[in-house]
């Protein structure tokens, strides 16, 4: 498949080892994302075009922005609150203390300000992963305890009543009924079996029409599914390892895509010089605004 070079622009050449979890910050009109392995928090200002990076003290699995402008992170030590300007950390909980081989992976905020995040076996050795929900002032709540290998692609339908939750090991995107009032998940079913598309299932986001946009790590593809789980359209990127994507810009009509240089030998990096950069693609449909931890 030919590369859709003209559709994609490089926004920031940050050379991320594993760029992930892009979030559009409407307050500052900037794109915030993390390099999970360096580790660091990156910010690109839409108005000035400048990018900055702030070191994080531990490898992380996910993060979200909070209403008070702090950052909630899930890392090797558990869940913490971080005030970057003060470099101050506040430990919240260690939900995986009973499974010391587990690490965190991917997370997102729902329409009521809850932060959902997943865990996985650090060696990808089994289905010991789980899905947790964090509400302000409460201990983490366990939502899914079985059948989780490598959680990825957390996002919701526009109404907020369907949770999409992917598993990179199974290469499948699942859907759950989601109760916005209580945060409960029920009725797990297959939304899209992504085996055979190429690459590996990674991050997802939903637009206002309910279409699910999805990054294929290792295949250099973006794929869009309609609300029934059928492939609607796909694009080939000018980099091999896109990781995650979100909608941003003043009108939420720009798709921002993070990428990685993870485990790429020198010869591959020479052929893919923008690996690890932040990319953008203008799209015709609006995305959904990212939530903040309440």
Residue 22: is it exposed, middle or buried by C-beta count within 10 angstroms (0-12/13-18/19+)? Answer: buried
The rounded distance, in Å, linking the Cα atoms of 294 and 111 is 10
- Tokens representing 132 are 């947790």
The rounded distance, in Å, linking the Cα atoms of 11 and 9 is 6
Residue 283: is it exposed, middle or buried by C-beta count within 10 angstroms (0-12/13-18/19+)? Answer: middle
The rounded distance, in Å, linking the Cα atoms of 98 and 105 is 17
Consecutive H or E run containing 268: helix 266-271
| Active-site position among 35, 202, 207, 272 | 202
**What φ, ψ does residue 289 adopt, rounded to 5°?**
-65, 145
Cα of 281 vs its chain's centroid, Å: 17
Q: Is 202 a catalytic residue?
A: yes
CA-to-CA separations, 260 to 18, 50, 125, in angstroms, rounded? 4, 20, 23
Catalytic residues: 202
């Amino acid at each position: 498949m030919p590369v859709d070079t003209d559709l994609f622009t490089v926004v920031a050449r940050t050379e991320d080892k594993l760029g992930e979890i892009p979030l559009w910050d409407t307050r500052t009109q900037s794109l915030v994302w993390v390099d999970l392995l360096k580790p660091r928090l990156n910010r690109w200002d839409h108005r000035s075009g400048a990018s900055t990076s702030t070191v994080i003290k531990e490898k992380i699995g996910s993060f979200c922005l909070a209403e008070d402008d702090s950052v909630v992170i899930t890392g090797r030590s558990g869940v913490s609150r971080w005030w970057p300007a003060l470099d101050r950390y506040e430990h919240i909980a260690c939900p995986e203390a009973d499974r010391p081989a587990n690490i965190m992976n991917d997370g997102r905020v729902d329409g009521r300000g809850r932060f959902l995040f997943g865990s996985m076996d650090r060696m990808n050795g089994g289905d010991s992963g789980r899905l947790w929900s964090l509400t302000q002032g409460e201990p983490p709540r366990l939502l899914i305890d079985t059948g989780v290998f490598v959680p990825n692609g957390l996002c919701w339908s526009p109404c907020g009543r369907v949770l999409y939750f992917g598993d990179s090991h199974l290469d499948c995107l699942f859907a759950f009924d989601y109760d916005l009032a209580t945060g409960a998940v029920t009725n797990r079913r297959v939304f899209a079996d992504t085996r055979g598309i190429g690459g590996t299932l990674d991050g997802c986001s939903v637009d206002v029409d309910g279409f699910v946009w999805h990054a294929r790590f290792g295949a250099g593809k973006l794929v869009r599914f309609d609300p029934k789980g059928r492939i609607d359209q796909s694009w080939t990127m000018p980099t091999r390892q896109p990781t995650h994507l979100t909608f941003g810009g003043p009108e939420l009509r720009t798709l921002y895509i993070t990428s990685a240089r993870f485990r790429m030998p020198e010869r591959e990096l020479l052929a893919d010089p923008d690996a690890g950069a932040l990319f953008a693609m203008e799209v015709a449909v609006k995305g959904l605004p990212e939530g903040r931890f309440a």
